[in-house]
Amino acid sequence: MTVSDRDVRQAIIDACIQMNELGINQGTSGNISCRHGEGMLISPTSTPYDTLQPEDIVFMGWDGAVDGRLPPSSEWRFHLDIMKARPEVNAVVHAHPTYCTTIAIMGRKIPAIHYMVAVAGGSDIRCAPYATFGTAELSAHAVEALRDRKACLLAQHGMIAVGSSLAQAMWLAVEVETLARQYHGALQIGEPPILSDEEIENVIKRMASYGLRDKEAAA
């Protein structure tokens, strides 16, 4: 294991632990991957994050071949398919944050209730249709929901955030959960007003350099 390889593996472990500390995930329901060499590194299935060692992080080639002492996350398929479909994506964060999942249970997207929706790449954060976890069907839905976007919800499941780095994807996951919480709160009063597509395009242009810088990324 090279130093850089170990660093990426440790960064995945640290991010998994951080997901729970930030309250955007519970138990071992979330999973994280990073592009690495001719494939990706991904957290293993059903293993408490605080017990993970760098050697427990699983390498998976683009052909699906696995190299690891533990099985990969049950959601490995959409991690792999997203990275294969999106060369600019270097990290994928999947979690079950309370407010994102609540909105996703209702099959709702997050519309442009706030200009920060633009950080996910468009005028809304789509909700992919439901499919059983770990299936090719769910993966196809996720890849489509992420088309020209950096985040999506998964109906009756959770959310996905992607980024050019692990730090970027983690930052976005927190932002999306914040938006879901705001949307949930607004719905308690009524249907919220929505910003126009034109305004969101204006915001996207103005925010071209907004957010966490890649140089701050851990992986």
Could you tell me the maximum CA-CA distance found in the chain, to the nearest angstrom? 54
Considering the candidates 75, 144, 198, 201, report the single residue annotated as catalytic.
Answer: 75
The burial class, CB within 10 Å (0-12 / 13-18 / 19+), for 17 is middle
Is residue 103 within 8 Å of residue 129, measured between CB atoms?
Answer: no
Strand partners, 160: 94, 152
Active-site residue 88, yes or no? no
Round to whole Å and give the CA distance between 141 and 133: 11
Strand partners, 95: 159
Is residue 64 within 8 Å of residue 92, measured between CB atoms?
Answer: no
> Residues with catalytic annotation?
75
